[in-house]
Amino acid sequence: MPEEPFDLVPVRSHPALLLKEKSKKTLVVADLHIGWEVSLAEEGVYIPSQTPKLLSRLIRIIEAYKPDCLLVLGDVKHAIAKIEMEEWRDVPNFFERVLRTVGEVKVILGNHDGNLEPLLPEGVEIISPRGLILGDVGLFHGHTWPHPEMMGCRSLVVGHVHPVVTFRDPMGFRITRRVWIRAKCKGRDLARLLLRRTGVRSRREPSEILKDLYKTELRVSHIVIMPSFNEFLGGQTVNRRKIGRESKFREFIGPVLRSGSVDLEEAEAYLLDGTFLGKVGQLRTLS
């Protein structure tokens, strides 16, 4: 995957981003889903906790790239509203170990992070699901609309989707791989919808409203969808063949991706090692 402008660089062979803002480096990962094994146990499939492997992989990346801050882009835990017994054990242990390796840790809340705060040790900063801005990049989980000020960023980064591509050979065997998705977006259309969802209804140009209400210039031009850091999770097949006349936006989750302002057919898909697979529309023939 080519280097993003504004020093937003995927960590090669890992589902992680390194964001360099002046002299500060922030490592970004998304969708840990600690405790996902419990949902399998409820279906009669019992496997040991995979959290130690998840933690070990993250620590290796932190030690290799030495970021000043770790930012988790939502869905720290797997249970949506409640807290499972395993999460009471694994989430605090996970972040206590991370805090011994990197001094600053931030978590943007995702849709699976209900009642997360009691699980996090002191020193972990919790951020609203509407996200935060680092340099020229707006980061949020993706299950809700971001803050309107993010329309002033050129790049938006989300998780939530767990994007994968699926390949099917002539014998019917399928191979699934996690991918990065990089798509252009229509900033004017996205800003208009976002402002409408925040209660701003006006016939004025979105750029004018953003400037007046939020002191923000409309600059957003593309969006990056991160693969899930947890390799054991399933994912959303972005190159799934459409059924009948269904909307090309229906298959995606999250209001921004469903808004119609993101060009998903022309979006570029990259493997974790940086290999460019092609555009999503082209890859549908291989699923």
- Domain ranges, ordered by start, for the chain: 5-286
Q: What is the token pair recorded at 246?
A: 């269904």
DSSP 8-class letter at 148? G
- Other Cβ atoms less than 10 A from the Cβ of 150: the count is 26
For residue 283, CA distances in Å to 130, 165, 248 come to 31, 8, 14
List per-residue pLDDT tens for the chain, 287 residues long: 544 434 688 999 999 999 998 789 999 999 999 886 666 656 666 677 788 999 999 999 999 999 999 999 999 987 755 556 677 788 999 999 999 999 899 999 999 888 889 999 999 999 999 999 998 999 999 999 999 999 999 999 999 999 999 988 777 788 899 999 999 999 999 999 999 988 887 789 999 999 999 999 999 999 999 999 998 887 899 988 764 444 454 556 789 999 999 999 999 999 999 999 999 999 988 87
The sheet carrying 104-108 orders its strands as 8-10, 17-21, 24-29, 69-72, 104-108, 124-127
Which pLDDT score, from 0 to 100, does residue 5 have?
A: 39
Q: Quote the CA–CA distance of 199 and 214 in Å, as a whole number.
A: 14
Alpha-carbon torsion, ordered 232, 235, 239, 240, to 10 deg: 110
For the chain, the residue count is 287
264 and 236 Cβ atoms separated by less than 8 Å: no
Q: What is the token pair recorded at 183?
A: 């798509």
Which pLDDT score, from 0 to 100, does residue 19 have?
A: 94
- Rounded (10°) angle between helices 206-214 and 187-197: 60
Name the residue among 16, 20, 5 with its Cα closest to residue 226: 16
Q: Which is it for strands 222-225 and 155-158: parallel, antiparallel or unpaired?
A: parallel
54 and 229 Cβ atoms separated by less than 8 Å: yes
Q: What is the DSSP string of 15-70?
A: S-EEEEETTEEEEEE----BTTHHHHHTTT------HHHHHHHHHHHHHHH--SEE
> How far is CA 153 from its chain centroid?
16
Which pLDDT score, from 0 to 100, does residue 3 have?
A: 45
